[in-house]
Amino acid sequence: MTNKSVIFFDIDGTLLNHEKELPASTKESIMKLKEAGHIVAIATGRAPFMYEELRKELGINTFVSYNGQYVVLNGEVLYANPLNITSLIKLTEDALQNEHPIVYMDHEDMKANVPEHPFIKESIDTLKIKQFPTHDPHYYKERELYQSLLFCPVGEEKQYEEKYDDFDFVRWHPVSVDILPKGGSKAKGIDKIVEKLGVSKENVYAFGDGLNDIEMLTEVHNSVAMGNAEDVVKSVAKHVTDSVEDDGIYHGLQMVGLLK
């Protein structure tokens, strides 16, 4: 058992503001945590390749990606939970008939099963990342996929939810839905790291703002919701800090006693 604290941060709306920028106070706070000997980690729905530059800027090499499906501790893969490929192929066939494109994602890249589609561009552009899925309809072959993206208007994902019970479908954009292994979550990914590090639950912290942070903020002993979070997210957290735009990370770390 170690006396160190480990602090998990969501990215979008938590570490990064709504312009996908890292506030100066947030970066300074992260550096102070590390100087004090704490372990700083990321817990996000993003793929690892989508925030490699952020990890380098902050010197972070422990993270939970894909909402718990791909977990890395000190630069080494600790846990991986891939999608059921047989079910994904069947879902792809159904989606193609409905003119709903799919993007396949592993830990290194993402590929679309159609050459182009306005829904793909519209949703991926909001992430403001350098990567954009290129066309490879067979990317699922001979590799493990940890998430896929289904592109369809709100409500049309219900037909897939009813048919594919080994997947969770989580909407993140008006025209896009995450496809994840059933029952996965950031909280479960965090558990893998905490168990391996031997950190007591009293020394585990988590900051988040989104609906996919609810389980994490519910289960982590010291949980902090951002001021810009929805009310349902705030309701499950132990603390609520200011918004990401108003130095919320800095104030939240002060609130829980990790910074003076």
Q: Which residues are catalytic?
A: 10
Which residues neighbour 181 within 8 Å (Cβ) at sequence distance 6 or greater?
69, 81, 82, 83, 84, 146, 166, 167, 168
CA distance 178 to 121: 15
CA distance 163 to 144: 22
Q: Where are the beta strands (DSSP E) in 44-173?
A: 63-65, 70-73, 76-80, 102-105, 110-112, 134-135, 147-151, 167-173
CA distance 257 to 44: 24
Do residues 147 and 109 lie in contact, with contact meaning Cβ atoms separated by under 8 Å?
Answer: no
CA distance 14 to 1: 29
Which residues neighbour 83 within 8 Å (Cβ) at sequence distance 6 or greater?
144, 145, 146, 147, 148, 167, 179, 180, 181
Which of these, 55, 16, 54, lies nearest to 245 by C-alpha position? 16
How distant is the alpha carbon of residue 75 from its chain centre? Answer: 17
Which residues neighbour 35 within 8 Å (Cβ) at sequence distance 6 or greater?
none
